A and B are shown apart, each in its own frame.
Chain A
């Protein structure tokens, strides 16, 4: 399977391995990092962005592919939509069935609210399910919320919204406890002590994990809990537009059955957008580690309804996406691999950086090594860097990979590669949207009764998120949105429903000469893998 060039390079990786084990790799200075990011991080490429023509963030930069959707055509305009024909009448409408949506549903249910979850695929089909590495919380004696705060703030280049970050770090331990008491199986020592490791940019070992199924374990428990509570789940149904009432508050959504196209109206007293990320928009042509449904739908809906975006131009590329074999191109290789000691090695067998720099710095450094220094390993789809996985077994003992990274080991085995003995090839992959809709500490946007939670929120992580703070974020802010939306709905009287904001937004686009015909939100990506078939749909 591996090419001769790869096999030759592996010999150099193996030859240098003994000296590299235990070696202290220098960390970059703040100035070096800045310089590196400016020159090599995709966020700094001007040609990857456009400027918004209308809306609250008019004049600001967004990734081109997101800009096209924000300037695209609503799926309801010109269609026959009867807002009086209400099919779902509920207290709290949650759009999105991932970790944030499920957490919000459980807490809103605790408040006694009637809750409806609408999700365009199955309940639990979300990036949450794919988070491998872990979840941060400062619950060890040598750690504290303040230390966690400083790590996340520095990692975010000091741009995190303080009121949100304070909440994230302060409520983290309680969220671990909440999950544990629901039955989530965290990795523990025999005496109950949590097994915790480092992630890129952490100064304390505070990464909690459930082997490398952390997100999957959390998601399947949350989903089970939602079902046990009898919370209404409307699956294979997307929200294609928000509905406001005559007071300008969010009051419902137009829903579309993904399979039949049938339209149904949902009315609600409060709404939580929990639609997740945008990896499937493939910014700048990057592959993605994201779920099939990650198409930024909530950002489009919220923005049209008047909520503003924050850091929508800050994208997280994960340093270690699979570069080879091609069948797994873009899939995630968890950061835990580096936490456990694997180094990043170039074609000549040299460790060119400390593997535990923050994600954005690591990405820029890998791109520099391949593009400028010409020290990448040639692959059929470009060039790549070795992640020296056999080091994990040498440093931590034989059997560590099977115990700590069973999912990853299995994935590679299916394609004939044993990562315990052979290093693996990686290249950055589109992983996370750092930005999103802006909220206050109560989880609400500037649009009354419109809450947002999870990856669709902007501001918690500033312009760059640390590993393990996203699983944490969906739980902290999912619960927060659920509690507040569940409380708020008790005092809401919904007025007359309308879609006037959609028509107004389209008018402004027309006037600005920025309107395009792309149906938006996208809902699902279309892939052809190079086929040239002639199709009528």
Chain B
């Protein structure tokens, strides 16, 4: 017999194998997920989950697909959160110091409680990246927030009503577009292709008889 534990899904008790993740345990209990399930590999943020172990005070935050069940776990899913996403034209705005003030002014209401950081299932220093955004250091904000999966549990805890994932997404787009060094070899290559520099070589290769192509493939030099 498998080792079983009792869990409480939205308050209702189920007995499930101790080896399962929360996501799989819900399926074992009879659910077919329609919300709260996405990549099942920790990348998409669909399965944001909060829980408390019976008798303990601390509220915990996790992804259902990445967390094993524990005995007496009281589980609530957070498949959707009404965050704030402002609309902007990335081609028009610039990475100026006051752009955050214009688009997400609520970040300046941060009271430094750090509840966001404690809620992050990715272990990011959320409050720190908001601080970087406040002072217009978008490179640091982008770097610090890079592993954000936008599960929004940080936002759900924020007394200043900040939607942190949307703030960092703006910072990363500003960084990627305007601040990161430009790639000369990419611009050169795109221009060469536009000018048709490589067209003939590709056409010639594609038109060769199969045995010649195979010969070329089997003897091509491979960069070390």
Q: Which residues of A are at the interface with B, using a C-beta cutoff of 8 A? A: 30, 121-122, 124-125, 129-130, 138-142, 144-147, 149-151, 153-154, 158, 162, 165-166, 169-171, 173-174, 176-177, 180-186, 188-194, 198, 203-205, 211, 213, 215-217, 220-221, 224-225, 227-228, 230, 236, 258-259, 289, 291-292, 326-328, 331-332, 406-407, 410-411, 414, 524, 526-531, 533, 535
User: Which chain B residues numbered 1 to 60 have a C-beta less than 8 Å away from chain A?
Assistant: 17, 19-21, 24-25, 27-30, 32-35, 37-44, 46
What residue of chain B has the Cβ atom nearest to residue A138's Cβ? B189
Task: Report chain A residues within 8 Å CB of B68.
Answer: 327
Does residue B122 face the partner (Cβ distance < 8 Å to A)? yes
What residue of chain B has the Cβ atom nearest to residue A326's Cβ? B19
B20, B43, B185, B223: which has the most chain A beta carbons within 10 Å?
Answer: B43
Report which of B35, B185, B201 forms a contact with A141, defined as CB distance below 8 A: B185
Contact B142 A213 (CB under 8 A): no
For the complex, what is the distance from the CA of A162 to the CA of B210, rounded to whole Å?
Answer: 12
For the complex, what is the distance from the CA of A177 to the CA of B191, rounded to whole Å?
Answer: 11
Give min CB distance, A330 to chain B, whole Å. 9
Give min CB distance, A392 to chain B, whole Å. 17
Contact A177 B30 (CB under 8 A): no
Task: Report chain A residues within 8 Å CB of B32.
Answer: 524, 526-527
Contact A139 B201 (CB under 8 A): no
Task: Report chain A residues within 8 Å CB of B221.
Answer: 203
Contact B27 A528 (CB under 8 A): yes
Contact B39 A194 (CB under 8 A): no
Contacts A186-B183, A410-B123 aside, 7 further interface pairs with beta carbons under 8 A come to: A122-B46, A142-B223, A144-B201, A215-B43, A528-B27, A529-B24, A530-B17
Give min CB distance, B19 to chain A, whole Å. 7
Report which of A142, A185, A220, A228 forms a contact with B87, defined as CB distance below 8 A: A228
Q: A180-B177, A327-B20 are in contact. Are A524 and B34 (CB under 8 A)?
A: yes
Contact B169 A220 (CB under 8 A): yes
Contact B181 A146 (CB under 8 A): no
For the complex, what is the distance from the CA of A486 to the CA of B217, rounded to whole Å?
Answer: 38
Q: Nearest 7 pairs between A and B by C-beta?
A: A183-B173, A192-B181, A154-B217, A183-B176, A185-B176, A183-B177, A146-B201
Give min CB distance, A535 to chain B, whole Å. 6
Q: A154-B217, A220-B150 are in contact. Are A174 and B190 (CB under 8 A)?
A: yes
What residue of chain A has the Cβ atom nearest to residue B204's Cβ? A146
Contact A221 B173 (CB under 8 A): yes
What residue of chain A has the Cβ atom nearest to residue B223's Cβ? A204
Report which of B21, B210, B217 forms a contact with A150, defined as CB distance below 8 A: B217
Contact B46 A227 (CB under 8 A): no
Task: Report chain B residues within 8 Å CB of A230.
Answer: 87
Task: Report chain B residues within 8 Å CB of A407.
Answer: 42-43, 147
Contact B147 A529 (CB under 8 A): no
What residue of chain A has the Cβ atom nearest to residue B178's Cβ? A183
Contact A173 B189 (CB under 8 A): yes
Contact B205 A192 (CB under 8 A): no
User: Which chain B residues numbered 152 to 184 have a C-beta less than 8 Å away from chain A?
Assistant: 169, 172-177, 180-184
Does residue B186 face the partner (Cβ distance < 8 Å to A)? yes
Contact B87 A183 (CB under 8 A): no
For the complex, what is the distance from the CA of A138 to the CA of B202, rounded to whole Å?
Answer: 13
Report B89-126 CB contacts with A as 1/0, cut-off 8 Å: 11000000000000000000000000000000011000
For the complex, what is the distance from the CA of A151 to the CA of B218, rounded to whole Å?
Answer: 10
Task: Report chain B residues within 8 Å CB of A535.
Answer: 30
Contact A173 B190 (CB under 8 A): yes
What residue of chain B has the Cβ atom nearest to residue A171's Cβ? B193
Contact A203 B220 (CB under 8 A): yes
Task: Report chain A residues within 8 Å CB of B123.
Answer: 410
Does residue B84 face the partner (Cβ distance < 8 Å to A)? no
19 contacts between A and B (CB under 8 A): A125-B46, A129-B38, A138-B189, A140-B189, A154-B218, A171-B193, A173-B186, A177-B187, A177-B190, A183-B176, A185-B176, A185-B180, A221-B172, A224-B173, A292-B33, A292-B37, A327-B68, A529-B20, A531-B30
Contact B176 A158 (CB under 8 A): no
For the complex, what is the distance from the CA of A146 to the CA of B202, rounded to whole Å?
Answer: 5
Task: Report chain A residues within 8 Å CB of B173.
Answer: 182-183, 221, 224
Q: A122-B38, A185-B172 are in contact. Are A176 and B186 (CB under 8 A)?
A: yes
Contact A129 B202 (CB under 8 A): no
Task: Report chain A residues within 8 Å CB of B185.
Answer: 139-141, 193-194
Give min CB distance, B177 to chain A, whole Å. 4
For the complex, what is the distance from the CA of A227 to the CA of B96, rounded to whole Å?
Answer: 22
Task: Report chain B residues within 8 Å CB of A122.
Answer: 38, 46
Task: Report chain A residues within 8 Å CB of B34.
Answer: 236, 258-259, 524
A183, A193, A227, A292: which has the most chain B beta carbons within 10 Å?
Answer: A183
For the complex, what is the distance from the CA of A411 to the CA of B17, rounded to whole Å?
Answer: 21
For the complex, what is the distance from the CA of A238 to the CA of B199, rounded to whole Å?
Answer: 41
Contact B149 A216 (CB under 8 A): yes
For the complex, what is the distance from the CA of A227 to the CA of B89, rounded to whole Å?
Answer: 11
Task: Report chain A residues within 8 Å CB of B150.
Answer: 220
For the complex, what is the distance from the CA of A185 to the CA of B177, rounded to whole Å?
Answer: 8
For the complex, what is the distance from the CA of A211 to the CA of B41, rounded to whole Å?
Answer: 16
Report which of A170, A191, A410 forms a contact with B122, defined as CB distance below 8 A: A410
Task: Report chain A residues within 8 Å CB of B213.
Answer: 150, 153, 158
For the complex, what is the distance from the CA of A154 to the CA of B222, rounded to whole Å?
Answer: 13
Task: Report chain A residues within 8 Å CB of B28.
Answer: 528-531
